[in-house]
Amino acid sequence: MKSFLNVEDLGDLKEALKEAKEIKTDRYKYDTLGKNKTLLMVFFNNSLRTRLSTQKAGMNLGMNVIVLDVNAGAWKLETERGVIMDGDKSEHLLEAIPVMGSFCDVIGIRSFAGLSDRDYDYAETVYHQFEKYSGKPVFAMETATVHPLQAFADLFTIAEYAPKRNKRPKVVLSWAPHPKALPQAVPNSFAQWMIAAEKQSLPLGGVGECAGMDFVITHPEGYELDPAFTEGATIEYDQRKAFEGADFIYAKNWSCPGVTKSEDYGKILSKDMSWTVDAEHMSWTNDAHFMHCLPVRRGMIVTDDVIEAPSSLVIPEAANREISATVVLKRILQSL
């Protein structure tokens, strides 16, 4: 694997989940695979989970790991071509990338959407520049439009906790309010991965195999995600209807994706607190598990009692980020 951005890059999901289970049983099984190989993790934005889990994954595989926080100690980087660099940016990404590539074997990139230019963000300009100019395999640690390491961990967590009573679990992605404009990367990838899983029988905890899943997205009007990620999904604007019978509630905020009105891209269209996931919302479900990628704003996205309930999966879901990152890095190392 030379690039990891979308679900297709991982191939057969059933195999990937089997591999995740194998790694979780013995996470050091491949601890010599990365000997004398260097992982460079490049962060243009903050991170807690991705930083720790991906670094741990590299160490599980015996790699050397370098972490570069571009905005803390490196030269400030220009990312666009054709500009006159007479401002505060001292170096262009197009020189920095091959220099970075000369010191490592694999590069992970975290680079959020700017949320001002939809075409620039959805072209994944920064990620593709790393692909083109680094000369090394690259993988997304949340880019402008996708967060595949998160979605893989989410799918694995759903596979582990799928209830015995239901061989076709209902999974609901729900928009929830937030005070700041957030990118669409997490919901885009979650939708893409769930839709891919919806069509397949997958190994699920306790029930052997399931016959796929039922996936529903619910959000206020105007928050429609890009169809490239949601084609085939059921969209339900009534949050209560969407929650009825759900086995998993995946809450997340996202700003306007600009699908119906491009001028609204990146804007906050609603802060409707009736969408906050509380105990009443959870009572509409089939004793659903609560999920969120974290970090989460309590009182906005979810109430304290719901996130602290025994059925909340936010901590095992975050812990599974180590597993998804180990599988992805292992695949990349095996293809070097």
User: Sign of dihedral through CA atoms 287, 149, 63, 41?
Assistant: negative
Assess 293 for contact with ligand CP (CB under 6 A). Answer: yes
CB 269 within 8 A of CB 220: yes
Alpha-carbon distance 37 to 105, whole Å?
A: 6
Pairing of strands 208-210, 202-204: antiparallel
Instruction: Answer yes or no whether residue 16 interacts with ligand CP by CB under 6 A.
Output: no
State which residue, 72 or 84, has the beta carbon closest to ligand CP. 72
Residue 50 or residue 143: which is nearer to ligand CP going by CB? 50
Dist. CA 135–CA 97, nearest whole Å: 9
* Inter-residue contact 34 to 58 (CB < 8 Å): yes
Indicate whether 150 belongs to the interface with ligand CP (CB under 6 A). Answer: yes
Q: Is 319 in the site for ligand CP (CB under 6 A)?
A: no
Site for ligand CP contains 48 (CB under 6 A): yes
Q: Does residue 320 touch ligand CP according to CB under 6 A?
A: no
Residue found by looking up tokens 């479900």 in the block: 285
* 115/293 with CB nearer ligand CP: 293
The window from 217-225, 239-247, 251-259, 291-299 that contacts ligand CP (CB under 6 A) reads: 291-299
String marking each residue 74-93 x if it binds ligand CP according to CB under 6 A: --------------------
Which of these segments, 45-53, 76-84, 98-106, 131-139, binds ligand CP (CB under 6 A)? Answer: 45-53
Nearest approach in angstroms of CB 50 to ligand CP is: 3
Is 47 near ligand CP (CB under 6 A)?
A: yes
Per the CB < 8 A criterion, the answer to whether 173 and 243 are in contact is no
Q: How far apart are CA 325 and CA 310, in angstroms?
A: 26
33 binds ligand CP (CB under 6 A): no
Q: How far apart are CA 237 and CA 41, in angstroms?
A: 39
Q: Which is nearer to ligand CP, 242 or 314 (CB)?
A: 314
Which of 313, 149, 152, 335 lies closest to 247 in space, CA to CA? 313
Contact between residue 78 and residue 111 where contact means Cβ atoms under 8 Å apart = no
**What track of x and - describes contact with ligand CP for positions 243 through 282 (by CB under 6 A)?**
----------------------------------------
Helix, strand or coil for residue 162?
coil
| Site residues, ligand CP (CB under 6 A) | 47-50, 142, 150, 293-295
